[in-house]
Amino acid sequence: MKILAIDTSCDETSVAVTGGLNILSNVIWSQASLHAKFGGVYPSLAKRAHEERIGWVINKAMTNAKCQMKNINAIAVTIGPGLAIALEVGIKKAKELSAKYNIPLITVNHLEGHLLSPFAQPKNSKKQNIQNSKKIINSTLSKVTFPSFGLVVSGGNTQLILVKEIGKYKILAETQDDALGEALDKGARMLGLGYPGGAILEHMAEKGGAKVYQLPIPMSGKEKEHYFSYSGLKTAMYRLIQEQTAKNPIRKPSASNGAGELTKQQIYDLAASYQNVAFEHITRVTSSIISHYPSTISYLLVGGGVAANSELRKRIRKMCRKFNIIPLFPYSKKLCTDNAAMIGVAAYFKTQRKEFSEVITKLERIPRYKI
Amino acid sequence: MLIINKRNALEHAVKVLKQGGLVIAPTETLYGALVDATNPIAVRKLTRYKNRPLGKPYSIAVTNQDMAKKYVKSNSTAISLYKTFLPGPVTIISQGKHKVAPGIESENGTLGIRIPDYKLIIAIINKLGKPVTATSANASYQKRPYKISDILENISEKQKGLIDLIIDVGKLPRREPSTVIDTTLDDPVILRQGEIKLKDKNEVVSRSPDDTKNIAKELWQKYETFSGKRAIIFALVGEMGTGKTVFTKGLARARGIKDKVISPTYDIEEEYDNGLLFHIDAWRFEKSSELKYFNFAKKISDKSIVVIEWADRVSDVIQKYNEEAVIIWVNISYGKNETDRIINWGVL
């Protein structure tokens, strides 16, 4: 089963070819790589860039997978959640290809893509034939038992999910305000580290002390309310930065933003302290919920951009040891950030359930699509 | 291709660079590929060597902040970053002044600046009197080069032929590539489209997030009479963490919306209950005109209710609708105590 998968949910134009759960190609033309390595991403550009580049990215994904349209069995496309004007571009292209080559279409929820991304398998080595690849699929799947837990941590979403079985989900906790990735980006921004800052914050935090500054752990003592919240932490960080800036007598306070006039070590320590508390909150709430469930649940699937953060992975592993749960992360960090390969993986499971989209002409984007 | 060690490296390198040549030299992070960043022919040569996709920009290395000023417009965020982190392995992106060869700046005219903490490179730039490209010496998608063989083993003969000089100082310590920081979102043009001065100064102090929600509800009740007659825009202004989303939650509740209201920073726009309320976040906008991609004019003519966070970033576009729409400017700022917020509002 070969699937051509398209994701234009937000900033990245991505197209992948998957064979079962194997990633044959996964091309991401990111605005970021265009603009600079971690450059800013803006809506007008986002739409224009998707339109200009989607054709090129599809060709590249097909070439990398050494594949032609006649070998493709289904086309998968993200229909939400995401930035409406960006989603449109991918959907339009998917419809076009589906009609032109008479290939069935599968619609995919972007969050389900993140959630199932740990199931993705690398491309087979040359020796393996299709039969072998089936074995790989079975071994991964047979390992994981359901129900299991799932955690999606990205720029736009933070959700703890009960995976009753693949395709049947229940949200156990989600954010009340900001997503984890967004909170990290904004923390970096307050430290004067530009945007998007999550990745930069991680670098800076490696050099700092996580316990140097005291920041309140969100929802501390209220973990049983079972939701995530980052707005209070943002406020506390803002105040802490003001306080620390004021303590640097030689350095004048900066006019345009609160930060900037901090010393290098202060920035490292503030980054580490902020990241520490942001992660502590995630694991505390997750632990509280997991402890309410029978100990027969033994897997936690983790996906989304922040799942690429090594410190977060460390803490999730530590938490999981306590509950005797095995955490599963995507095999590559490229599968954490927005990408189409994970959409192909989610679509593969849908083909197993025969969930094809029937009325293609009526297919529309769903910007607030729920998992 | 000439391979030399550190002795006389400076003279050789500068001579080659002046002639538009390509030099591979050690830096504080890894082996870098240097060309004169102001020489279009040299830059084209570098792009051929790197086998780099078109449109992918290069950073440049300069000796100090004064030299950087010739090539970029640095805002205050950039200036404090220079002070804190440079020289060092950090690349700072600002708006470029278009004084480098084509292909160096990004499509949007931004340019990354490095000030290396490495004597040889600084000496080369000083002597050349021009910035050099700051890019790794490997071809695109190949391994990071910490020794010369890392480079030569992974390129074609054709690519080798493009190298004019290699300065080989042996194996470099394994360091991460530089951290890239984009400061252009903090550009003053974006931050302040126009100062908002409110005529009637209504001011209240909110003591808690719940208070803020109630104030939003009261404001809604005050302007509800316009609903269905004119579009109503709540233009929210306030620092990070002051509670713009909390305010919106209050408005949504007053509108009877049950759906959860969260920060729209990533998806930029959220629509609740089939158009009962639109929630837009301008934080990631580059230009205020980008509001039009969200059918803003149609929302006005449809007499919609719209909340815009970071409205100061798009104030010029919002103000064009002063006649057609009721625009309520709401400014939220931090108060004395942790949870205190000062909220002023008014109609222009």
Residues A176 and A313 in one domain: yes
Tell me the sheet residues that pair with B232. Answer: B305, B326
Which of chain A's residues have a Cβ under 8 Å away from the Cβ of B240? 186, 189-190, 234, 238
Is residue B270 pLDDT above 60, yes or no?
yes
Residues A194 and A321 in one domain: yes
Question: What pLDDT, on a 0 to 100 scale, did the predictor assign at position B160?
Answer: 93
pLDDT-based confidence at residue B287 (cuts at 50, 70, 90)? confident
Cβ separation A85–B294 shorter than 8 A? yes
> Is there a domain that residue A38 lies in?
yes
> Is there a domain that residue A44 lies in?
yes
For chain A, the C-alpha Rg in angstroms (whole number) is: 21
Which of chain B's residues have a Cβ under 8 Å away from the Cβ of A258? 239
Q: How many angstroms from the chain centroid is the CA of residue B38? A: 24
Write out the CATH class of domain B192-347.
alpha beta
DSSP designation for A40: -
Superfamily of domain B2-186: DHBP synthase (3.90.870.10)
Question: What pLDDT, on a 0 to 100 scale, did the predictor assign at position A260?
Answer: 45
Question: What pLDDT, on a 0 to 100 scale, did the predictor assign at position A207?
Answer: 93
Kindly tell me the burial class for residue A221, based on how many C-beta atoms sit within 10 Å of its own C-beta (0-12, 13-18, 19 or more): exposed
Tell whether A264 is within 8 A of chain B (Cβ): yes
Residues A207 and A82 in one domain: no
Residues A202 and A154 in one domain: yes
Interface of A with B in 167-206 (CB under 8 A): 174-179, 181-182, 186, 189-190, 192-195, 197, 200, 203-204
Question: What pLDDT, on a 0 to 100 scale, did the predictor assign at position B188?
Answer: 52
Query: Which of A8, A27, A29, A42 to probe the B interface (max B CBs under 10 A)?
Result: A42
Residues 6+ positions from B251 with CB-CB distance below 8 Å: B216, B217, B219, B220, B234, B277, B305, B307
Question: What pLDDT, on a 0 to 100 scale, did the predictor assign at position B273?
Answer: 87
Which of chain B's residues have a Cβ under 8 Å away from the Cβ of A368? 259, 270-271
> Is there a domain that residue A155 lies in?
yes
> Is there a domain that residue A139 lies in?
no
Cβ separation A239–B263 shorter than 8 A? no
Phi, psi of A160 (to 5 degrees): -105, 130
Q: How far is B2 from chain A (nearest CA, A)?
A: 31
Pairing of strands B179-182, A168-174: unpaired
Which of chain B's residues have a Cβ under 8 Å away from the Cβ of A8? none
Query: Which of A184, A193, A370 to probe the B interface (max B CBs under 10 A)?
Result: A193
Tokens of B26: 């050690």
Mean pLDDT for all residues in chain B: 89
Question: What pLDDT, on a 0 to 100 scale, did the predictor assign at position B2?
Answer: 86
Residues A196 and A243 in one domain: yes
Which of chain B's residues have a Cβ under 8 Å away from the Cβ of A45? 108, 286
> Is there a domain that residue A137 lies in?
no
> Is there a domain that residue A64 lies in?
yes
Question: What pLDDT, on a 0 to 100 scale, did the predictor assign at position A133?
Answer: 47
Number of domains in chain A: 2
More confident call, B341 vs B289: B341
**Cα A305 from Cα A288, distance rounded (Å):** 23
Question: What pLDDT, on a 0 to 100 scale, did the predictor assign at position A40?
Answer: 40
Each residue's pLDDT tens digit, B200-254: 678 899 999 999 999 999 999 999 999 999 999 999 999 888 999 999 999 999 9
**Inter-chain contacts counted by CB atoms under 8 A, chains A and B:** 170
The pTM score is 0.83
Q: How far is A304 from chain B (nearest CA, A)?
A: 14
> Is there a domain that residue A141 lies in?
no
- A310 among the known binding-site residues? no
Residues A169 and A207 in one domain: yes
Cβ separation A156–B266 shorter than 8 A? yes
Question: What pLDDT, on a 0 to 100 scale, did the predictor assign at position A256?
Answer: 41
Q: How far is A189 from chain B (nearest CA, A)?
A: 9
Range of the domain at A348: 2-122+332-362
**Cα A42 from Cα A34, distance rounded (Å):** 12
**Average pLDDT of the residues in B40-60:** 88
Cβ separation A262–B84 shorter than 8 A? yes
Residues A306 and A352 in one domain: no
Segments in A218-358 forming alpha helices (H): 231-246, 264-290, 310-323, 341-352
- Closest partner residue to A84 (CB to CB) among B241, B260, B269 is B269
Tokens of A161: 């999910």
Tell whether A156 is within 8 A of chain B (Cβ): yes
Residues A56 and A87 in one domain: yes
**Cα B225 from Cα A106, distance rounded (Å):** 46
> Is there a domain that residue A342 lies in?
yes
Q: Determine if residue A129 is left, alpha or beta; phi over 0 gives left, psi from -120 to 50 gives alpha, anything else beta.
A: beta
Among chain B residues, CA nearest to A179: B263
Domains in chain B: boundaries = 2-186, 192-347
Residues A210 and A318 in one domain: yes
- Give chain A's residues under pLDDT 70: 30-48, 125-142, 195-196, 249-260, 359-361
Question: What pLDDT, on a 0 to 100 scale, did the predictor assign at position B24?
Answer: 96
Question: What pLDDT, on a 0 to 100 scale, did the predictor assign at position A257?
Answer: 45
Residues A172 and A259 in one domain: yes
Question: What pLDDT, on a 0 to 100 scale, did the predictor assign at position A47?
Answer: 65
Cβ separation B80–A192 shorter than 8 A? yes
Residues A179 and A268 in one domain: yes
> CATH code at A36?
3.30.420.40
Residues A44 and A64 in one domain: yes
**Cα B256 from Cα B217, distance rounded (Å):** 11
Enter the ipTM: 0.78
- How many residues are recorded in chain B? 348
**Average pLDDT of the residues in B114-124:** 95
